[in-house]
Amino acid sequence: MLRFILATLTTSLTALGPALAAPPDVPFASIDGGDLSLSDWAGKPVLVVNTASLCGFTPQYEGLQKLYDTYRDRGLVVLSVPSDDFRQELGSNGEVKDFCELTYGLDLPMTEITHVRGAAAHPFYAWLRDKEGFVPAWNFNKVLISGEGEVVATYGSTVTPLSRKLTGDIEALLD
């Protein structure tokens, strides 16, 4: 009986594994209109960051733009995912876009305001929760995805965009 249970469990987990192996190709709505899909950047590392305009960590936008400027020619994509899940985002997508462009000169890809946790979480964040057990604990949590779609690392809000830890992981993917 124990062998049957173990065999059934192993079969179930094996069947589940491939379904969770890569992020779902469910697009994010772009703040500029249209869609942004991780598959658009296949073969490139992507740093996905849940952001907010009214947070104590908001000055990290400057570092995210510098990171993007430094590594974009080598293939890095930095995707900003504004979220109001922690009640620190502006009231509309237009306000977010204007704030980020005027205050920080952002030209990196950015989604519309998106849920990153809970039942309404975007499918990427639901996948991240299910596969990695990672749920953003606050704004400016970061997820580094390899060009093959694997999670390389997750980082909390206090890991700054230009930290050695983060840039070292990015450089390892680009070399």
- Distance between CA atoms of 72 and 57, rounded to whole angstroms? 23
- Distance between CA atoms of 18 and 69, rounded to whole angstroms? 34
Give yes or no for a contact between 135 and 117, defined as CB atoms under 8 angstroms apart.
yes
Output the CA angle 6-10-12, nearest 5 degrees: 115
The answer to whether 55 is a known catalytic residue is yes
- Residue 85 tokens, joined: 């899940």
Q: How many residues does the chain have?
A: 175
The residue from 46, 47, 55, 128 that is catalytic is: 55
The label of the residue with tokens 């590594």 reads: 71
- Residue 78 tokens, joined: 């930095």
- Distance between CA atoms of 76 and 69, rounded to whole angstroms? 9
- Distance between CA atoms of 175 and 171, rounded to whole angstroms? 6
Give yes or no for a contact between 142 and 113, defined as CB atoms under 8 angstroms apart.
no
So which residues are the catalytic ones?
A: 55
